[in-house]
Amino acid sequence: MKIKCLQSSPCRTFFLILTGSVLLNTGVLAQEHVMDSSMTKQAHVMLLPGDLKWGDGPPGLPPGAKAVVMAGDPSKPGLFTLRLKFPANFNIPAHWHPTDEHVTVISGTLWLGMGEKTDSKKVKSLIPGSYSLMPAKTGHYAMTKEETIVQIQGIGPFGITYFNPAEDPRNKK
């Protein structure tokens, strides 16, 4: 491309705008690339069921749950994978999360209902291999009848807010 018009101001202006926009676009692309790689850059993980070191569940869940973080950190920005083990007859009252919650049932059966009020008659049984996506800020609740393990995946920072604050285990101390 020949540019012979550097002294001609309309043409020069066009050239400068063109150059500027190319630089700007390159800058934006570079920035996006950096953000992408920092969000996906995680250490390799390979865990067999026997490798999992279960600890107590987070304080936002009723007592009795066990938890293990498989990858990432639910309290920090970025993708995380978590497993939760609920005992039989466990009940998580109606709540919502700030980001999408992806739930995969690993073992047992998760009885899951949608809405802002817990209703044990409206739950569906999710057997092992089942998956459900709870969009951010969407009300839902869950219960078990037997020991059940679920895998939770989402983008942190993750949290849980109960529709009825009296049902929040953190308020029962």
158 secondary structure, DSSP code = P
Question: In the complex with Cu ion, which residue's Cβ is closer, 101 or 153?
Answer: 101
Residues in a beta bridge with 152: 82, 103
Scanning 21-29, 55-63, 79-87, 94-102 for contacts with Cu ion by CB under 5 A, the matching segment is 94-102
Per-position x/- string for 48-87, each x denoting binding to Cu ion as judged by CB under 5 A, each - no binding? ----------------------------------------
Subset of residues 97 to 116 that bind Cu ion, contact rule: CB under 5 A: 101
- Give me the least distance between CB of 91 and Cu ion, in Å please: 13
Closest residue to Cu ion, based on beta-carbon distance: 101
Burial class (CB in 10 A: 0-12, 13-18, 19+), 4: exposed
The span from the CA of 39 to the CA of 30, in Å, is 14
List, in sequence order, the alpha helices (H) in 63-113: none
Contacting positions for Cu ion (CB under 5 A) = 101
